[in-house]
A = this chain, B = another copy of it.
Amino acid sequence: MDKRIYEMHAGICCIFSNPKRLEIIDLLRDGEKSVNELSSLMEIPQANLSQHLSLMRQSGILDTRREGVNIYYSIANPKVIKAFEIMREVLLEQLSRHEKLAKKIKIA
């Protein structure tokens, strides 16, 4: 297997390893939003939001479209959402495994 795929995959996972960026992606799930809209939904300083957006745009995760003074961000490839859904299933299954384990230990 070509090791460059691991580099690329690791790179994109690195982008995803920040909760605010994941929240942004989630907010864009059902369509584009302007920076302003995101900003009012998100409780982080505007500058910081722009930094996250910029990073995701550069790495091809988000697309942008300018309309007058506003810039609209959207998810470049909806498969990302699909991958996220599966990964969250994994997380939930991990949680329930953990809970079951915790119960077993308490009973024993």
A→B interface (CB under 8 Å): 1, 3, 5-14, 16-23, 26, 60, 76-77, 79-80, 82-84, 86-91, 93-94, 97-98
Contact = CB atoms under 8 A, between A and B. Distances in A.
Contact of A10 (B17, B80, B82, B98): B17
Given A9-B87, A86-B82, A17 B14 contact: yes
Nearest to A60: B94
B83 A79 contact: no
Given A10-B17, A16-B17, A79-B93, 10 more contacts: A3-B23, A9-B88, A10-B19, A13-B22, A60-B94, A60-B98, A80-B87, A80-B90, A83-B86, A86-B86
